[in-house]
Amino acid sequence: MLAYIVRRLLYAIPILIGVNLITFALFFVVNTPDDMARMQLGVKRVTPEAIEKWKAERGYDKPLFVNPAVSGLSTVTDTIFFQKSARMFAGDFGRAEDGRDIAREIGLRMGPSLAIALPTFLLGLFVTVTFALTLAFFRATAFDFWGVVLCVAMMSISGLFYIIGGQFLIAKMFRLVPISGFGDGLDAWRFLVLPVAIGVISGVGASTRWYRTIFLEEVGKDYVRTARAKGLPETLVFFRHVLKNALIPILTGVVVVIPLLFMGSLLTESFFGIPGLGSYTIDAINAQDFSVVRSMVFIGSVLYIVGLILTDISYTVVDPRIRFE
Amino acid sequence: MTGFQVVVLWSDILVWLLVASGIGLGVLVARSPPLLAAWRRVGASRTGMASATVLFAFIAVGLLDSLHYRVALDGKPGQKVQYGVEVLSVLDALAAPLRTRNEKTYSEPFATRLYAKETMDVPGAGAVRDYPRLKHGGKHLGEREDEVAADAGFTALRGAALAFAVWLGLAGIAAALAGGGTAAVDGPGWQRIWRGDAGFAWDAVLLTLLLMLLIAVPLFWLSGQYHVFGTDKVGQDVLYQVLKSVRTALIIGLVTTLVMLPVAVLLGIVAGYFRGWVDDVIQYLYTVLNSIPGVLLIAAAVLMMQVVIDTHPQWFSTAAERADLRLLALCLILGVTSWTGLCRLLRGETLKLRELEYIQAAQAFGVSSWRIILRHILPNVMHIVIIALVMDFSGLVLAEAVLSYVGIGVDPTMTSFGTMINNARMELGREPVVWWSLAAAFSAMFILVLAANLFADAVRDAFDPRAA
């Protein structure tokens, strides 16, 4: 088991290097730092001196990969690639356009992101699994049919509609909760109720349908027929056998997103003014703050790879038949 | 007679290429009995055909909007003809009243007056603060502004009557078609359709068609006299914007798949068939791309594309061309981030197929690898490709709205559901509430995506061998 985890971790290293190279190519080779400077300073009437100054302030004035001007190890380290890209492995993300340290900012904003994402994830999982189980229990009835119709309709509605509509109805019309904002400590719950509820509802359609098919697949298996043949009542068949076995693919399927919860949600956070990583990313995109976007791409990839490893481990933990050699 | 110059945008080429490949696919399907049988199953599905009818209506609007031209400006005779900078489409020409009859700012659906009060000079009464009369909405009524409901109702009724007459004609043609085929049950065509055993879900198609005609014809008629869906901040008709958004949504949904399909199919099959180091390299490639969260990769790529476009203004002769290229670049970026799923599916399926007897027999006969892939593997993974194609569509349409909201979607000057929502999002905070642009954009998108989802389900049920 331990050897397996170590091997998976080693396998993650080339992938991370690949991600790093792709982001580097995207940010520095597609466009030269000169183009970025012109973008930030305004396209027209920019003096070459202003561009040079902008580049020097941010350390973009170095060569891309090899710096022949300095000697020793510095030929490789005193370059844009090493300074801006390779150092991300050590958790050094540099500074944003406004001069703040990105790593510190990320640490500060992780909390609010998690405060939204974690309840949404847990509550959403509970609601959808329950709903899907109910639909599967009443399979091939009118209830099941209309339930599926509802799911298809719900997944055809834009996520923006849930947010805009929910905000308008609950916060503006009924004035039950504040429209947006975030508070510290226990007081935060008033700000969290609506985004969490909207997050749960907007995910119901697609996941419920998916889980329902998993349940139905499980219902058709031989051990379920055996359980019924023993004379077990249908409710017991469902809760003791079907639920347990269907939870294996469901839970292992959601493990991959757990680390990504730290990243927060772009839309929800920006609509509700929550100072998390999602709104941080959106602000960076709108301000064309390349170093922040670059850092977020890297962190997102790291978290996704962690999720993949956790998924593989969870398979072996949940299902003893699976052994990775 | 003013002349015009045909403008072919890059996206137009791709759209018509898609139409051509659709027809080509149809010919291929007609020749292959198993594919034909699968599509017959789709044709027999009521929800499938009803949603296909709706999708066809959207596609028709999109195609009309994909024939572009520039109008010649009036110049002196003998002078070299100059063309206007505005690129128009056939849809623009058909909906010219909608496009040109702009108001000053917001007005409600069927309103005759503006949404906000203004100070006006009334002869005899001096400066008066009141809601100004609209320039175009309900103009034919003159002073009888309180008769809007009666007038609109009467027009709608006339439109509905016309729609019903048209529908009766179409239903007659359908009945003749259904009667001509060789079905198991005898009887005239309309009876078979009524009983639902014509082999093709004519009843669903006709019912959907009736519903659409009953909505579209009165809407078309009314839109000549009123702003049926209201006007937006700069006074543009919301119905016109909805119609223009359809093309953007279709391009995002279809061209993206077209762009990524060759890559995904080729790499997926090659990885599964050759295994070894080829498989390792391809797997590494898609794991790396997959590791970067989609939205962030799109954001990064779009930001970079923006810099390229902004620093090279000399590439584009009109604003429409710039917006068009940006749309295509967005499709390309979405394609790069979304091919991995299909590639993985195809790899897995090919791994299974290559162990089957008929492939091994072909290998034993000395058939070359590429020929085996082309003749034996590709046709047998086609169902996965088709299912993926229709399943991705709705997701991409929804994604466009979100991306445009985030600011990394289509060009702000290009009308799309996303830009409509983005422009209208602050309007719910106004007093009184401006709800119509949001409602129109969301409803149109909902209908399109719902139809696509239902059609995708019908296709999947027909093609998935496990479901049968």
Whether B299 and A293 lie within 8 Å, measured CB to CB = yes
Tell me what ipTM this predicted complex has.
Answer: 0.85
Stretch among A239-243, A285-289, B143-147 having the lowest mean pLDDT: B143-147
Mean pLDDT highest for which of A283-297, B310-324, B339-353? B339-353
Q: How confident is the model at residue A323 (pLDDT cuts 50, 70, 90)?
A: low
Nearest to A267 among B290, B402, B454 (CB): B402
Question: Per-residue pLDDT tens for A227-237?
Answer: 999 999 988 88
- H or E, element range at B5: strand B4-7
Residue partners of B172: CB distance under 8 A and separation at least 6 = none
pLDDT score of A73 = 66
pLDDT greater than 50 at residue A300: yes
- C-alpha A41/C-alpha B40 separation (Å) is 60
Lowest mean pLDDT segment, chosen from A77-81, A288-292, A296-300, B401-405: A77-81
Query: What CA–CA distance (Å, rounded) separates B82 from A32?
Result: 38
pLDDT score of A144: 92
pLDDT digits (tens, 9 = 90+) for B417-452: 888 888 887 777 777 778 888 889 999 999 999 999
Residue of A158, A263, A300 lying closest to B398 (CB–CB): A158
Which residue type, as a one-letter code, is found at position B194?
Answer: W
What does the pLDDT read at residue A44?
63
pLDDT at B195: 67
Note whether B427 contacts A: Cβ–Cβ < 8 A: no
pLDDT in the model for residue A225: 92
The SS3 of residue A276 is coil
Q: Find the CB nearest A297 among B296, B445, B453.
A: B296
Q: When comparing pLDDT for A88 and B384, which is higher?
A: B384
Query: With bands split at pLDDT 50, 70 and 90, how would you rate the model's confidence at B1?
Result: very low
**Cβ pair B314, B349 in contact under 8 A:** no
Per-residue pLDDT of B271-280, as tens digits, reads 999 888 999 9
Does the CB of B258 have a partner CB in chain A at under 8 Å?
Answer: no
Hey, are the CB atoms on B306 and A288 less than 8 Å from each other? Answer: yes
CA closest to A28 among chain B residues: B304
Q: Using the predicted structure, report yes or no on whether residue B21 has a pLDDT greater than 80.
A: yes
**Amino acid identity for residue B64 in this structure:** L
Q: What is the pLDDT of residue A75?
A: 67
Q: How many degrees, rounded to 5, is the angle at CA A11 between CA A9 and CA A14?
A: 115
Q: How far is CA B127 from CA B114, B122, B123, B124, B135, in A?
A: 17, 6, 9, 9, 20
| DSSP H or E segment with residue B359 | helix B357-364
- Cβ–Cβ below 8 Å for A285 and B406: yes
Query: According to the model, what pLDDT value does residue B55 have?
Result: 92
Percent of chain B with pLDDT over 70: 93
Q: Which of the four pLDDT bands, split at 50, 70 and 90, describes residue A324?
A: low
Domain spanning B238-467, CATH architecture = Orthogonal Bundle (1.10)
Q: Is pLDDT above 80 for A210?
A: yes
pLDDT of the residue at B468 = 41
Q: How confident is the model at residue A253 (pLDDT cuts 50, 70, 90)?
A: confident
Q: Choose among A36, A156, A301: nearest Cβ to B449.
A: A156
Contacts of B288 in chain A (CB under 8 A): 15, 18-19, 22
pLDDT value at position A140? 86
d(Cα B298, Cα B337) in Å, to the nearest integer?
A: 7
| B40-43 contact pairs (CB < 8 A, 24+) | B40/B199, B40/B200, B41/B461, B41/B462, B42/B458, B42/B459, B42/B462, B43/B199, B43/B200, B43/B201
Average pLDDT over residues B19-29: 87
Residue B184, SS3 per DSSP: coil
For the stretch B168-185, what's the b/e string if a residue is b when 16 or more beta carbons lie within 10 angstroms of its beta carbon?
A: eeebeebbeebbeeeeee
pLDDT at site B238: 87
Q: Does the distance separating the beta carbons of A301 and B293 come in below 8 Å?
A: yes
Q: How far is B317 from chain A (nearest CA, A)?
A: 18
pLDDT band at A147 (very low <50, low <70, confident <90, very high): very high
Bridge partners of residue B122, in order along the sequence: B126
Domain locations along chain B: 238-467
